[in-house]
Structure 1
Amino acid sequence: MDPSDCPPVPVGPGHAQEQHLARLDIVSRRIVDKLDNYKAYNFTQLQSVALNIFFDLAQEFTKVEDVYALCVMIPKTLFNLECTLYVIDGQNDVLSCCASHCPAHDGEIRFAQEPVVKEGHLRIPIKGNRELLSQLPFKPQGDSIGMLEIFPADTLTEHDRLFWGRYANRIGFQLHNRFISLKNKEHVQFIRNLVKDIGHNVIVPNMFFKLFYKRLEARIGLIRSYQEKFHGLMEHCLKLDKSLALDFSRLEQDVEYFYNAILNQYKEIFSHYQNTSLFLETLLRSSHFEAGRYVLEKRKCNFKSQVIDPQVERYRARLEERGIEIDTSMGGVPDQEIEVVADMGLISQVYANLFSNVVKYTREVDDGTGRKRKFMSYGWQVLKNHFAPGRDGIKFNVFSSGQPIAPVQAGQLFSEGFRGENSQGEHGTGHGLYFIREVVALHGGESGYEPTPQGNNFYFVLPVRPHSGDDFRND
């Protein structure tokens, strides 16, 4: 095929295209370098075939023990050389294998850090990938994950030693990847078992709390009926002795006070339970772990009553503690309730992250009337044809007063682990905005930040209607 007949590879404009071309150039130069290296190695035909056989069979064998045997049998079968392979296993012990037998080793074996001939054996370190050493299920000796012994070494030329050094490099690459793969498989199996444990020991027991809260609410309600009985008894007693009026009045006020205090505390605890349950059941869905990513459960939800209002009430006390007013006079909070197809649990956590940041980062400003105050606002607006002709978006805003974020930092706000200069003294991990970006993107939406003269507005935009073919459940 003529290269001109090949379709072009799609690459992004501008800087992205430059990066792509630069990457191609780097790889091209490395290919030429390797070609020059192999010419300089001048390996014999048998040596080159040995490397190819090792590579092919290393891909064929699925068990790591078979790869161990392959490592030692290539020298034995093709070159009539004895070979011993020492490898660190997952328990940081040393595994010893050789072409004809697997001898026991006495004491600790220190791997050679450079190729060396000792007692008639050529000892070559098997190096791991330095950038991936931390992912191994054991601690390597330096950057060595094993050692290869070739003997007798007195028949080997310098050129032979060069070849076996390259052979050991191939072993290191294969074994390192195998060890990481085995670790990942164990990790996946652990996660699957953990999901079962979470369902059995966390999610299911948590459901029983709802029943307990309902019983508690009913018993609190009994207090009211006893109040009514007490009031009737009090009126009867006052007919007999009016001097008890003041004492009865105070007692009735105390009972009313305690009733309201218990009821309000119950409502606060129950609200916290509802939020915690929603977040637990959303984040710990088995589907997330099975897919290895967040899996949305889309349904029509009323943003005002089901998402925003519960989070506002959750953070209201913390806002008041910090002297932050909730200002609804700025517009953008329509009276009507809106319905958007979304994963209610995950979007609720988006708002929780945004309101948490409001609590931490809202600062005092001049509100334009000469008065200094701290305030926040929230709301939404319809963006006509935002995603495509006929596909409107709804922009959800959360504003907090304070110094606008510098442009150089604003571009990094939604990056994992990033924390701005204004985060000093405030607890956080830099994960919240990254979480928001990921969840909103899964909904086919956009997230962003806008500076304003009086503060900072964080927003996200969701499609009013899902893409055709999207699955969702109606409440």
Structure 2
Amino acid sequence: MAGQNNNSADFALIRQRIRGKREDYKRYSFTADQNNILKTFFDLAQEFDSLADFYAICVLVLPQYMDVVCRLYISSDDGILQLVQASDGEPLSAPLPAPESHMNITEISRRGNTLLLPILLKGSTAKGGAGSGLFEVVFKRPISPQLRFFLEKFTNRIAVALSGRLASYQNVRHIEFVTNLVADIEHNIIIPNMYFRHLFNKLRKKIAEMSDLEEQIKAMKAAMGMTGNESCQHIIDKITDLHKSLTDYHQELDKHHKSSTLFIESLFRRDHFTQGQLVLRTRKCNVAREIVAPQLEQYERRLQSRGVTVEHPDDMRAEEIPLQVDVGLLSQVYANLFSNALKYTETVDVDGSGRQRKALAYGREYVRDCFGAGRDAIKFNVFTTGRHISPADADRIFDEGYRGTNVRGEMGHGHGLSFIKQVVEIHGGWVGYEPVLHGNNFWFCLPLPDDEAAPEPEAADS
């Protein structure tokens, strides 16, 4: 279908449309001047950039070829029709209200020696409303049906050209807004967020002072021979409990702050917005220790509260080959996978005997020739127990905005897995899903460094 965003062109359809247009133009039988009007409009619309100049072109081309007056009306953002330019009189520097008689015209209308032709801009949802307009042509003598038909086609050219121009201007405004927003985020969020680190350090010092005070009270109690004093011991116990609670809260806050800071700084990089895509900042790291462990720590308590057992691999950190990755973005890959595990892990009957399992497991394995001969990879897995995802859902589960039929009312926007796919692919990797025994496995493969190769598999025990 015309307009679809496919990777390959539909030659058959395009040839058919070209032949149709060729026959249409034969049937139109436009005069030489009418063809020149269309060509002049097209050439000048490409030559001049500003919207004011484009409005002027719309109303000035026809009067150069025929004895007419032209006026162009465009609806404002709130749907009010306004005169934006006219060929008679001085150029308008600001829009003027349209006559009441011109409002809500949805069909070509003839009023005496005036022809009113509605303009429906591309993307507009209703004629006569916001995103539409009106082209007025005033004649000094009667017009033929052929000229009326030509003016209808000319107005269509205005609508198409104006739609593209307005969309382009809107895109420029969006880019300018996003650019300014990034600067605001950097100034008002990222930099002030660094101050929390200072506050955490001060809190840690105060907790340390409380610990010293606790020891001093204990020493004072012993020195004053108050070993059996219950009131004194009660105060010491309260201070000890308070110290432990503050230490736990500090550690929890510190971990969440580090994770949030990592995500903020990796998502709101200026490079992402200036280049219009995610831009990597890679460094060599140990994925298990620097990425998986901190993210799992964020979710482990919540997983346990839902009855999900975390099954840690024996060899995740053993013989780990450091990879050159973007730590912030890859951390969010695991955060999304663990978040999905929290929502969708189910209890399964392991062997039909009633023994149940509700678990998350993760790990990695080496894959030889994953990206071609001699191009090995590490495959990272996150497994959860539960019913298999349906084949129909599995085919689309990494698509932006898609949510499977198994969501069961869980909150979400269908963005997490699409984000994972994007991050992994800009690392040069692949993502995938596979149904396995007792549940579902989401995986991604990342290429090993050029100077590394997957270890030889260990020989089986004899």
**Could you state the TM-score of these two structures normalised by the residue count of structure 1?**
0.88
Cα offset, 1:106, TM superposition: 5.8
**Could you state the TM-score of these two structures normalised by the residue count of structure 2?**
0.90
Matched, 1:362 2:345: yes
Matched, 1:202 2:189: yes
Amino acid at match of 2:62: P
Partner of 2:117: 124
Amino acid at match of 1:437: K
- Return the alpha-carbon distance in structure 2 between the equivalents of residues 237 and 143 of structure 1: 85
Amino acid at match of 1:39: K
Cα offset, 1:99, TM superposition: 1.3
- Return the alpha-carbon distance in structure 2 between the equivalents of residues 242 and 151 of structure 1: 107
Partner of 2:287: 303
| Offset from partner CA, 1:243-287 (integer Å, 9 cap, x none) | 42x444444333222211110111001111111111011111111
Aligned residues: percent identity? 35
Partner of 1:187: 174
Partner of 1:470: none
Contact 2:74 2:133 in 1 (8 A): yes
Contact 2:76 2:130 in 1 (8 A): no
Contact 1:195 1:284 in 2 (8 A): yes
Contact 1:126 1:148 in 2 (8 A): yes
Matched, 1:96 2:84: yes
| Offset from partner CA, 1:295-315 (integer Å, 9 cap, x none) | 111111221221011001100
Cα offset, 1:50, TM superposition: 1.1
Partner of 1:325: 309
Partner of 1:212: 199
Which piece of structure 1 moves more, 400-409 or 344-353? 400-409
- Return the alpha-carbon distance in structure 2 between the equivalents of residues 25 and 47 of structure 1: 31
Judged with a 3 Å threshold, the aligned counterparts in structure 2 of structure 1 residues 263 and 140 are, in CA distance, closer, same or farther, namely farther
Judged with a 3 Å threshold, the aligned counterparts in structure 2 of structure 1 residues 200 and 20 are, in CA distance, closer, same or farther, namely closer
Partner of 1:351: 334
Cα offset, 1:411, TM superposition: 0.8
Partner of 1:85: 72
- Return the alpha-carbon distance in structure 2 between the equivalents of residues 175 and 366 of structure 1: 63
What secondary structure sits across from 1:381 in the alignment? strand
Contact 2:71 2:83 in 1 (8 A): no
- Return the alpha-carbon distance in structure 2 between the equivalents of residues 143 and 29 of structure 1: 34
Question: Moved runs in structure 1, 4+ residues, more than 6 A?
Answer: none
Judged with a 3 Å threshold, the aligned counterparts in structure 2 of structure 1 residues 171 and 425 are, in CA distance, closer, same or farther, namely same
| Unaligned segments of structure 2, at least 5 residues | 452-462
What secondary structure sits across from 2:396 in the alignment? coil
Contact 2:55 2:84 in 1 (8 A): no
Matched, 1:403 2:376: no
Partner of 1:276: 260
Partner of 1:376: 360
Judged with a 3 Å threshold, the aligned counterparts in structure 2 of structure 1 residues 48 and 220 are, in CA distance, closer, same or farther, namely same
Judged with a 3 Å threshold, the aligned counterparts in structure 2 of structure 1 residues 232 and 242 are, in CA distance, closer, same or farther, namely closer
Partner of 2:124: 133
What secondary structure sits across from 1:171 in the alignment? helix
Contact 1:332 1:378 in 2 (8 A): no
- Return the alpha-carbon distance in structure 1 between the equivalents of residues 46 and 405 of structure 2: 50
- Return the alpha-carbon distance in structure 2 between the equivalents of residues 80 and 122 of structure 1: 14
- Return the alpha-carbon distance in structure 2 between the equivalents of residues 205 and 143 of structure 1: 41
Partner of 1:175: 162
Contact 2:67 2:140 in 1 (8 A): no
Contact 2:71 2:85 in 1 (8 A): yes
Cα offset, 1:112, TM superposition: 2.6
Cα offset, 1:144, TM superposition: 6.3
- Return the alpha-carbon distance in structure 1 between the equivalents of residues 418 and 340 of structure 2: 13
Cα offset, 1:385, TM superposition: 2.1
Partner of 1:232: 219
Amino acid at match of 1:145: S
Partner of 1:458: 442
Partner of 2:454: none
| Offset from partner CA, 1:51-104 (integer Å, 9 cap, x none) | 111111110011111111111111100112211111224565513322122585
Work out which of the residue numbers 138, 147, 150 in structure 2 matches 1:160. 147
CA RMSD of aligned residues (A): 2.3
| Unaligned segments of structure 1, at least 5 residues | 1-15, 468-475
| Offset from partner CA, 1:153-194 (integer Å, 9 cap, x none) | 642100000000000000011111111111111111111111
Matched, 1:44 2:37: no
What secondary structure sits across from 1:86 in the alignment? strand
Matched, 1:115 2:97: no
Which piece of structure 1 moves more, 107-116 or 345-354? 107-116
Contact 1:120 1:154 in 2 (8 A): yes
Amino acid at match of 1:222: E
- Return the alpha-carbon distance in structure 2 between the equivalents of residues 160 and 247 of structure 1: 105
Contact 1:111 1:144 in 2 (8 A): no
Partner of 2:401: 417
Cα offset, 1:230, TM superposition: 1.1
| Offset from partner CA, 1:383-418 (integer Å, 9 cap, x none) | 122113332111111111101111121111101111
Contact 1:303 1:339 in 2 (8 A): yes
Contact 1:365 1:373 in 2 (8 A): yes
- Return the alpha-carbon distance in structure 2 between the equivalents of residues 332 and 426 of structure 1: 33
Which piece of structure 1 moves more, 331-340 or 363-372? 331-340
Cα offset, 1:434, TM superposition: 0.4
| Offset from partner CA, 1:322-368 (integer Å, 9 cap, x none) | 01001136x66343444111110000000000000000000001234
Amino acid at match of 2:366: V
Partner of 1:428: 412
Amino acid at match of 2:195: F
**Counterpart mapping for 1:2-41 below 5 A:** 20=8, 23-41=10-28
Contact 2:288 2:317 in 1 (8 A): no
- Return the alpha-carbon distance in structure 1 between the equivalents of residues 190 and 57 of structure 2: 48
- Return the alpha-carbon distance in structure 2 between the equivalents of residues 125 and 377 of structure 1: 63
Judged with a 3 Å threshold, the aligned counterparts in structure 2 of structure 1 residues 64 and 376 are, in CA distance, closer, same or farther, namely same
Judged with a 3 Å threshold, the aligned counterparts in structure 2 of structure 1 residues 81 and 360 are, in CA distance, closer, same or farther, namely same
- Return the alpha-carbon distance in structure 1 between the equivalents of residues 221 and 114 of structure 2: 104
What secondary structure sits across from 1:430 in the alignment? coil
What secondary structure sits across from 2:371 in the alignment? strand
Judged with a 3 Å threshold, the aligned counterparts in structure 2 of structure 1 residues 198 and 318 are, in CA distance, closer, same or farther, namely same
- Return the alpha-carbon distance in structure 1 between the equivalents of residues 217 and 97 of structure 2: 87
